[in-house]
Amino acid sequence: MQGVIRVLWASQKIRALPALQNSVASQCSNFSTKQTIKDIEDNYGLEASLSERAKARDKSLRLEHESLKTDVSASNYGTRSIDPDGIRRKRIIYRSKQRGWLEVDLLLGTWAVKHVPDLTVEELDQYETILNRETMDIFNYITGKEAPPPEIDNAIMVQLKKWTISSPLGVASPVDYEAAKENSNLT
């Protein structure tokens, strides 16, 4: 927000309220004249020490958010045994089916139902890294519209691309979509 206000105020395309101008001016005066806007934006508009703390906290929050929890109370299962690997696989399959975009739900969901039960732990980690991306980005990567970044350009990404190219759902047929959803237990 500050970056937008600063750019608009600096270009004088609009006139900000005097109080807002004073606020922006006081924040901008904290930076040396040699410091560029890019430097300011790279550091979240903070001093270097605060910026490093913010980046570290951001990273820890993302890791915590993206990790799948496999600890389940034993009382939830009664006398059945708990298999953390099985829980992880089920959650990954669920995440593959429930992306929120029909095309990606169908492509990832059908692939996951067929392949996730047989993946190694390393392959599961690779697939989970892909699932942590934005749905639109995943779609662009697996359809070949964009090249995937190096951290997810792995064997699983190659399998997903081959799966997508093979038209596993037929060619734009509502009947084929419905059959694929039913066969893969997609809602």
pLDDT tens readout for residues 83-141: 889 989 999 999 999 998 988 998 999 999 999 999 999 999 999 999 999 999 999 99
Residue where one domain finishes, among candidates 37, 65, 93: 65
Which of 41, 65, 89 is the C-terminal boundary of a domain? 65
| Residue 161 or residue 47, greater confidence | 161
Buried b (16+ CB within 10 A) or exposed e, 133-149: beeeebbebbeeeeebe
Q: How many domains are contained in the chain?
A: 2
The pLDDT tens digits for 15-39 are: 444 444 455 445 544 444 444 445 5
Check residue 28 and give left, alpha or beta (phi > 0: left; psi -120 to 50: alpha).
alpha
165 shares a domain with 78: yes
Confidence (pTM): 0.59
Q: Which domain holds residue 22?
A: 2-65
For residues 93 and 167, state if they share a domain. yes
Last residue of a domain, one of 21, 37, 65: 65
The answer on 179 and 96 residing in a single domain is yes
